Every structure is written in structure tokens, then in C-alpha cells.
Amino acid sequence: MGIEKYTSTEKKSTRDGFGAGMRELGRSNPDVVALCADLVGSLKIQTFIDENPERFVQVGIAEANMMGIAAGLATAGKVPFATTFANFATGRVYDQIRQSIAYSHKNVKICASHAGLTLGEDGATHQILEDLGMMKMLPGMTVINPADYNQTKAATIAIADHHGPVYLRFGRPSWPVFMSESEFQIGKAIVMNEGSDITVIATGHLLWHAVEATKELLSKGISVDLINIHTIKPLDEEAILKSVSKTGKCVVAEEHQRNGGLGESVAGLLARNNPAPMAMVAVNDSFGESGKPDQLLNKYGLGISDVLEACEKVL
């Protein structure tokens, strides 16, 4: 098993993967109901709506109400998918999610697009970089941050069959497609390359940067264990501990604040079980700004060169 399997010949957005997953769910699962807060076009769910108009609820610009309605639908056995931008799907409605969905253990799928810096020109008001932290702190919440179109589509379909609240995070930009749908299983890490010198863990869009960095390191004769963590919670602790016990060092890359992100989860896991030198590729306690996705990733230290630098630091 190796990295050569993971190449990209096309670019598609993760939100398009979500839309494709919803289209399939519309056809296969009659209990799925989609809700949206005035962002249908951005969430790519028009096909679902066209094919299942009675199972779509337009709530308008009222996200708190949307979360409550989703919880209410779930009380009678529906499987609601509440969709909007990640910023409005988390921070804006944290208490509604906490009480009506998480504490009440409602089978609601919170599906959030336009997460992170790669939303681009709209700027920091919309570029949420704290959502994974907020969601992973809620007891019982499953948190998933897939890496590309295929993985987002697979995750969308998988969470409908998982009973319990889920936060599914994806994004706006066109992005390399390199994973296969069949590899996805909630809570199960995907080891994309086996190696013995360093463990590289990545989630979401940053996984592609980790793939590129891995190829570069391999060409220099450094043996990399590359792990795709799409499920932030529950974390596949066994896969991470197994890898780090072999390599003894670790880098975690994510499009999120360092505080509260996947890196922090991994650091905690290692500190409790097998302390090891580690570096984090993440936003360091700052808001984003307007710009193109690649410009922003580079400026805020999330580029391919930043992943390489972090690896060199711990090697």
C-alpha cells in the first residue's frame, strides 16, 4: 500500500461531493429530510430538492430555528440534514445544537459548507476556523471533515445510517480528487502510505498538501506514514498510536485553529499514551482575511512548504 495510488486528475469541490451524496440519499432513504437556511445553491442540494420537493424545508435566514426544527423532525423518526455555511452551522447556533440536538441525542446531521480559509474572498466573517473544536467538545457528537469530493460523498451517505448527531464539515473551492469512495468508514483512519521515519496526519483540504509533502519527502529517502483522519471524533486512536509507536514523531495538518483542532486531539492522545515530538500545521490564533484560497493557505502557514517545514522540524 503506498502513496502512488493517490493521484489527482481532476478538481471538484467537497460541497459538490455533498450534493452528490444527497442526491443518492434522496433516492435511497425516504426518511432523509433536507433543511437549508437560504443557501441552496451554495450547498449543491438542488437535485435533491427537485427530486424530493416534499422532503425539503426552506427555513430562510434563521439558523437557530433550523436546528430546532431538525431536532423536532428527528423526534418522529426523520433523518434531518440541516445545511448552511459552517460559520452559521456552529458558532451562531451553539446552544441550540447543545441542548436540542447533542444533549437530547437527536439524529440530526449538521452539514456545513464553506469552512475554513479556502472560502476565500468573503473574508474572516465567514471563514470559521473554530468549528471542529466547538463540535468535538459536545458529548456524543460525531465530527467528520472529509478530504475531497469522493470522501465527502461517501461520508454524506454513511452518516444517514449512523444513529446520532453528526457534524459534517466541507468547503467551497475546487480541490484535487484523489480518494476513493469505498475507502470511507466512519471513525476508521485510512493509512495512505506506510513508513517508519515520521507520521503525517491530515484532515480536510490539507490532506492534499500532506500527500504532496509526503511525495517530496519520499523522494528524499524519508519514510512517511501518512494517515487520513476524516473522522475527528471518535478519533481512531489505535491507528495513530500504532503509527507513532513505529515512527516516534508526528505532524498534524488541518485548516483550523491550532487551539481546539485535530492536532490538539492527537497531542492529548500522545501525551496520555506515548509522548512524542510533534508539530502542528494550523492557524495560530488569528482570524483570516479576503484573498484567493491558495494565497490564504500560504499566508496563514498551511501551504505544502509549511507541511514540509513542520516535518523537517520534528525529524
Residues at the contact surface with another protein, assessed by CB under 8 A:
33, 54-55, 57, 59-60, 62, 64-78, 80, 95-96, 98-100, 103-106
What's the order of all strands across the beta sheet hosting 250-257?
Answer: 190-193, 224-228, 198-202, 250-257, 278-283
- Residue 98 CA, chain-centre distance (Å), reads 20
**How many CB atoms sit inside 10 A of residue 44's CB?**
23
Whether cis (ω within 30° of 0) applies to the bond prior to 277 is no
Query: Which residue lies nearer to another protein by CB, 64 or 241?
Result: 64
Query: Which residue lies nearer to another protein by CB, 1 or 76?
Result: 76
- CB of residue 35 vs another protein: minimum separation in angstroms? 9
Beta bridge partners of 167: 110, 143
- CB of residue 143 vs another protein: minimum separation in angstroms? 20
Residue corresponding to grid cell 500532506? 210
Is there a catalytic annotation at residue 194? no
- CB of residue 33 vs another protein: minimum separation in angstroms? 7
- Find the DSSP H helices in 195-258: 206-219, 237-247
Q: At 85, list the grid cell.
A: 455555511
- CB of residue 137 vs another protein: minimum separation in angstroms? 17
Which of 10, 51, 54, 63 does the annotation list as catalytic?
A: 63
Q: At 288, list the grid cell.
A: 483570516
Query: Which residue lies nearer to another protein by CB, 80 or 293?
Result: 80
Query: Which residue lies nearer to another protein by CB, 75 or 284?
Result: 75
Residue 291 backbone class (left: φ over 0; alpha: ψ -120 to 50; beta: rest): left
Q: Which are the catalytic amino acids?
A: 63
